[in-house]
Amino acid sequence: MLTSLYVEGQSWFHRVPVRAKLAALVVLSVALFAMNAPLLLLPAFLLCGALYLSLGMTARQAFSRVGFVLFTILVLAGINLFLVPLPQVIALILRLTTLVLFAAAVTATTTIGAFMDEITILLKPLERVGLLRAADVSLALGLVLRFVPDIFARYQAISEAHRARGLPIRPMTIIGPLIILTLKDADTIAAAIDARGFRRQ
């Protein structure tokens, strides 16, 4: 069961500074969307796939982290088969999958605290001109990264409860309880944040 996006390890990518990883993610995103030829996108896909698989996870763990997103990409590609030529569909799959694999590698090798610290530093210039509060944005990002695994774990628990009762597993019967439990957690977290004065004006 997925309990955290971070994976303990000593790989070279674990040792890369957070700012460099985020910068590489931005540059990669721009480069991928600037390329349309599958033959140009394929090397990037292979490199990011190799990077992701080199982080010390088993094949099952690696797939469980990105499986749902990859399935969504395939569904999107299936729809596009009726709208655009096949080479463009292949480019779409390679582009999005490469981006997902690299982003997953970044989150797997960076702690939530490191993410929050770096985002706070990067957003300080915007805070000085009154556009936002850097600490609030970094806190929001940290909460998202922290509770994504919890949501997946809760989804698995609800699915297993359905199986144990012999009930069919349908998205509509699972999403309802999942949303309710998630909103309850959100209320509890918000109360804890206010109680500790993290968002004083």
DSSP 19-48: HHHHHHHHHHHHHHHH---HHHHHHHHHHH
Mean pLDDT of the chain: 82
Pairwise CA distance, residues 110 & 45, whole Å: 21
Listed by start position, the domains of the chain span 12-110, 133-195
Which pLDDT value is given to residue 3? 52
Which pLDDT value is given to residue 98? 96
Which pLDDT value is given to residue 24? 95
Which pLDDT value is given to residue 99? 95
| Neighbour-count burial for 27-45, b at 16+ CB within 10 Å, e otherwise | ebeeebeeeeebeebeebb
Which pLDDT value is given to residue 2? 52
Pairwise CA distance, residues 3 & 23, whole Å: 27
Q: How many CA within 13 A on the CB side of residue 43? A: 5
pTM of the model as a whole: 0.75
Which pLDDT value is given to residue 164? 82
List of the chain residues with pLDDT < 70: 1-4, 146, 149, 171-172, 183, 185-201
Pairwise CA distance, residues 120 & 138, whole Å: 6
Which pLDDT value is given to residue 41? 94
Asked if residues 51 and 105 have their Cβ atoms less than 8 Å apart, the reply is: yes
Q: Which of left, alpha, beta for 197 (phi over 0: left; psi -120 to 50: alpha)? A: left
Q: Which of left, alpha, beta for 130 (phi over 0: left; psi -120 to 50: alpha)? A: left
